[in-house]
C-alpha cells in the first residue's frame, strides 16, 4: 500500500471514532459550561466528583478496549465464530467490571471529606457523584458493543449514537439544571440525571445495532450456544487489564492533580476544570486515531504482514502530529475567549487561559503517547507499556506537579508543568517501544 492509501484507510477508520469520542467528551463539556452558569462552587463540585469518577471509569474503558485486538485478530484470520465468542465473553466480563466499579465508588463516596477540599464543594458533590456512578452500567454496555464493531472495522454507528446522546444530554441539561418545561430546577444533580439518561439511550442504540444488524449475523449465528471458555476470558484480560491500568495511570494523574489544585482554592479548581475539559477534546479525538492504529495493527498481525503493520502505524503517528499541532494552535489563539464560555468570573477565566498555554506544549506528546498505546495494544504488547505509563505519569508527572504547584508555590501552573513533563516522557518511551517490537517481529 502507498502512503496515500494508508492515510485513506486510517482516516476511514479513525474519523467516526474521533467524532464518537468527541461525543463522550462533549457530555462533560456541556455539563461544565451549563453548570458554570449557576456558580463557581457547583463547577468546582462537578470537577471534584468527576475527578473521582473518571479513575475507575477509564479502567472500565481499558477493559472494553481489550476486546478490539482479539476481535481484529479473529477477523484477520477469517474466524467469524471466534469474534462472536469474544463478544459474549467480553459482555459478561464488562458487566462484572461495571458492578465492581459501582461498589468501589459507593464506598469511596463516604470518605470524600478527607481529601482536603472546601466543605461546600464536598457537600454539593455527593449526590451528583452517585448519579453519574450509576451511569457506569449503560456506559460499559455501550463500550462492549462499540469495541466489537470497531474490531470488525465498523466504526460509524457508534459515532452516530454518541453524537445523538450528546445532543439529548444538552437538552436534558437545559430542562433539569435550570428547571424548564415544568420540571424542577435540580442544579448539579440535574446534570447528573441528564448524563445517566443519555448513556442509557446510547447503550440501547448500540445493542439494537449489533443484535439486529444484518452485517453481524455471521458473527452471532450461535451466540446463545457459545460455551464459556477460560481461554477467551484470559485473552481479553491480557489486553484489557493492562490497558485499563495504562488509562488509570494517566487519568488518575490528572484527577489527583485536580485534588492538588483544589487545595489551592476553589477558583483554581474551577479554572483547572475549564482547561482540562478543553484539552480533553483534542485528547479524546486523538484516541480515535489510537483506535485506528489498534485495528490496523491487529489486522496486519493476524495476516502476519509486518512491513504493512509498521507503515500503517507510522502513517497514523504522522496524522496525529498534524492534528494535535492544529489543536494546539487553536488553544493558543483562543485561550482568552474559550474560558468565557464557562464562566463570567474573570479571575477564574484568567487562570484557565494561562493553563491553556501550557496545554499547547503537551498536545503533541499527548497525541503520540495515545497512538503508541493503541498500536502496542494491537500487538497485544501491554506489560512493558503499563510500566512505562506508571513511571511517566506518576514518577515523572505527578510528583513534579505537586512539587512545583505546592512546594514551590507556583500554583495551578506549576501542577500543569509537571503533567506536561510526564506526557513528554511517556510519548518518547512508548514510541521507542513500538519501533523495538516491530523490528523484533520483522527480524523473527
C-alpha neighbours within 13 Å on the C-beta side of residue 161: 25
Q: Does residue 349 have a pLDDT over 70?
A: yes
Q: What's the confidence (pLDDT) of residue 14?
A: 66
Domain count, the chain: 1
| CA–CA dist 178, 191 (Å, integer) | 10
| CA–CA dist 423, 431 (Å, integer) | 12
Q: Give the mean pLDDT of the chain.
A: 81
Q: Which three cell numbers stand for residue 271?
A: 479554572
Q: Are 80 and 219 in contact (CB under 8 A)?
A: yes
Q: Does residue 385 have a pLDDT over 80?
A: yes
Q: Which three cell numbers stand for residue 405?
A: 504547584
Q: For residue 318, what are the domain limits?
A: 3-443
Q: Which residues of 281-298 are buried (b: 16+ CB within 10 A; e: fewer)?
A: bbbbbbbbbbbbbbbbbb
**Nearest CA among 238, 265, 322 for reference residue 10:** 322
290-293 LR contacts (CB < 8 Å, sep 24+) = 290/370, 290/371, 290/373, 290/374, 290/375, 291/13, 291/14, 291/17, 291/65, 291/68, 291/150, 291/155, 291/374, 292/10, 292/13, 292/14, 292/17, 292/316, 292/374, 293/10, 293/371, 293/374, 293/375, 293/378
Residues above pLDDT 70, as percent of the chain: 91
pLDDT digits (tens, 9 = 90+) for 268-295: 888 887 888 788 778 877 887 887 887 7
What is the model's pTM?
A: 0.72
pLDDT digits (tens, 9 = 90+) for 409-437: 888 889 889 988 999 999 999 999 998 88
pLDDT band at 203 (very low <50, low <70, confident <90, very high): very high
Q: Are 61 and 235 in contact (CB under 8 A)?
A: no
Q: Does residue 243 have a pLDDT over 80?
A: no
pLDDT digits (tens, 9 = 90+) for 122-158: 776 778 888 888 899 999 999 998 888 877 777 778 8
Q: What's the confidence (pLDDT) of residue 27?
A: 66
Amino acid at each position: 500500500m502507498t502512503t496515500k492509501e494508508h492515510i485513506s484507510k486510517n482516516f476511514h477508520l479513525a474519523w467516526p471514532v474521533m467524532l464518537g469520542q468527541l461525543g463522550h467528551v462533549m457530555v462533560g463539556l456541556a455539563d461544565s459550561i451549563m453548570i458554570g452558569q449557576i456558580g463557581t462552587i457547583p463547577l468546582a463540585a462537578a470537577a471534584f466528583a468527576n475527578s473521582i469518577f473518571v479513575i475507575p471509569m477509564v479502567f472500565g474503558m481499558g477493559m472494553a478496549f481489550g476486546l478490539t485486538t482479539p476481535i481484529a485478530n479473529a477477523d484477520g484470520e477469517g474466524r467469524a465464530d471466534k469474534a462472536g465468542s469474544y463478544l459474549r465473553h467480553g459482555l459478561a466480563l464488562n458487566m462484572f467490571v461495571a458492578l465492581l466499579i459501582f461498589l468501589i465508588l459507593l464506598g469511596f463516596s463516604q470518605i470524600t471529606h478527607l481529601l482536603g477540599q472546601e466543605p461546600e464543594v464536598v457537600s454539593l458533590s455527593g449526590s451528583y457523584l452517585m448519579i453519574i456512578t450509576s451511569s457506569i452500567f449503560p456506559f460499559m454496555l455501550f463500550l462492549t458493543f462499540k469495541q466489537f464493531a470497531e474490531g470488525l472495522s465498523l466504526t460509524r454507528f457508534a459515532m452516530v449514537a454518541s453524537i445523538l446522546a450528546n445532543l439529548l444530554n444538552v437538552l436534558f441539561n437545559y430542562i433539569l439544571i435550570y428547571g424548564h418545561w415544568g420540571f424542577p430546577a435540580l442544579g448539579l444533580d440535574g446534570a447528573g440525571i441528564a448524563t445517566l439518561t443519555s448513556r442509557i439511550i446510547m447503550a440501547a442504540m448500540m445493542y439494537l445495532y449489533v443484535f439486529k444488524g444484518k452485517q453481524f449475523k455471521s458473527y452471532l449465528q450461535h451466540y446463545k450456544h457459545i460455551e464459556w471458555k477460560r481461554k477467551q476470558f484470559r485473552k481479553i484480560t491480557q489486553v484489557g487489564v493492562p490497558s485499563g491500568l495504562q488509562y488509570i495511570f494517566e487519568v488518575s494523574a490528572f484527577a489527583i492533580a485536580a485534588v492538588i489544585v483544589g487545595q489551592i482554592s476553589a477558583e483554581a479548581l474551577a479554572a483547572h476544570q475549564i482547561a482540562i475539559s478543553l484539552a480533553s477534546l483534542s485528547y479524546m479525538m486523538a484516541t480515535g486515531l489510537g483506535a485506528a492504529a489498534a485495528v490496523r495493527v491487529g489486522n496486519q498481525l493476524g495476516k502476519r504482514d509486518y512491513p504493512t503493520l509498521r507503515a500503517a502505524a507510522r502513517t497514523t503517528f504522522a496524522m496525529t502530529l498534524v492534528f494535535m499541532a492544529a489543536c494546539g494552535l487553536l488553544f493558543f489563539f483562543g485561550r482568552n475567549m474559550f474560558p468565557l464560555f464557562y464562566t463570567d468570573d474573570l479571575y477564574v477565566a484568567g487562570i484557565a487561559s494561562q493553563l491553556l498555554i501550557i496545554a499547547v506544549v503537551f498536545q503533541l506528546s499527548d497525541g503520540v503517547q495515545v497512538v503508541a498505546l493503541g498500536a502496542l495494544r494491537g500487538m497485544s504488547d501491554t506489560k512493558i507499556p503499563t510500566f512505562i505509563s506508571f513511571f511517566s505519569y506518576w514518577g515523572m508527572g505527578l510528583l513534579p506537579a505537586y512539587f512545583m504547584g505546592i512546594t514551590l508555590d507556583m500554583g495551578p501552573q506549576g501542577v500543569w508543568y509537571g503533567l506536561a513533563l510526564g506526557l513528554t516522557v511517556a510519548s518518547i518511551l512508548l514510541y521507542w517501544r513500538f519501533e523495538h517490537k516491530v523490528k523484533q517481529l520483522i527480524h523473527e
